Amino acid sequence: MSERVQIVVPGDDPVQIAGSPHLDRLRAHGEVVIHDTTPADSAEKIERVRDAQIIINSRGVVTWREELHSLPNLKMITTCSIGTDMIDLEVAKEQGIVVSNQPGRTAPVVAEHMVGLMFALAKRAHFQSDELKSGRWTRRMNVMLQGKILGVVGTGAIGAEVARLGRALGMEVIAWTFNPSSERASELSELSVCFVELEELLAKADVVSLHVKLTPDSYHLIGADELAAMKEGALLLNGARGDVLDIDALCASLNSGHLGGAGLDVFPQEPLPADHTILECEQVVLTPHAADQTPEGVDLLNGGAVDNVLAFLSGQPKNNVAI
């Protein structure tokens, strides 16, 4: 595009991209408008981007579905994330809107966070800290991770990095994926990672870590039956999307004592309601969809969003998932 454009960040709350030096690369191409609050409703959201040709969607809580029909000027949306479940890709495709994401860009950052959750669960860090703060000297058996089996569900960039870190910790790693490929199998086989069926993974793994994207096929991929199939005392991690896991079934499994704990960075509803039943479960470690929220991770995502915009403006869009 040769003409100057309007580029809008519709809801940078909490701050993700405002103040990023990467935005300076866009100013020669047009006006950059940043809104630092979440739109109150659909009408306000549409009004904020009515004249925009490009949206930088820095926060997943700002969703784009039927609203896209009301935005004839819009040509492109880039996310500051790997996931695109906040955007109706079919509607975007119908409207001729390019949607670019950032596959694998922050995989090392997110994988490190998930391993951190695994350690916090295995060593009962949250529970034992709370006990000490309450004046109780409560000691429970912890879990030694070396020599245990880590089951990785989904072997994209993040899942593959979790597998690599698991092997570095001395864990046996098994994996399952929706989309097996010889390339990924070869890459992981070098780490002695073995692909198995999902049923076998759930039955064998001491720790199960979820890393699939949210699609109709993966909605509640892990439900009551799958949780029951897991080993007694196993740990479950979700770094995928909230609806990949049936959280009500998870609460029941935790409260029954079947599972040993759960570490979640994603939830079906975000922000998580203050009265959600998962908050009453004892052996959980929860983070607010913050796995990539390090200075390095944020900078990578901000830079990637700007790279996507510049590629689009040059006539060579990349990472387009609305196809």
DSSP 91: H
End-to-end CA distance of the chain: 20
Active site residue 289: yes
Residue 7: both structure tokens together: 């580029």
Whose CA is closest to 171, among 190, 193, 187, 186? 193
Contact call for residues 272 and 242 (beta carbons, < 8 A) = no
Q: Please identify which residue in the block is written with the tokens 């701050």.
A: 15
Burial of 28 (0-12, 13-18, 19+ CB in 10 A): exposed
Indicate which residue of 48, 113, 184, 289 is catalytic: 289
**CB atoms inside a 10 Å sphere around CB 279:** 12
Alpha helix (H) residue ranges in 220-288: 224-229, 247-256
Active site residue 241: yes
**CB atoms inside a 10 Å sphere around CB 87:** 24
Q: Phi, psi at residue 153, to the nearest 5°?
A: -105, 105
Active site residue 66: no
DSSP 245: B
| Relative orientation angle of helices 125-133 and 107-122, to the nearest 10 degrees | 60
Indicate which residue of 241, 258, 276, 296 is catalytic: 241
Indicate which residue of 67, 187, 200, 270 is catalytic: 270
Residues annotated as catalytic (active site), given as ranges: 241, 270, 289
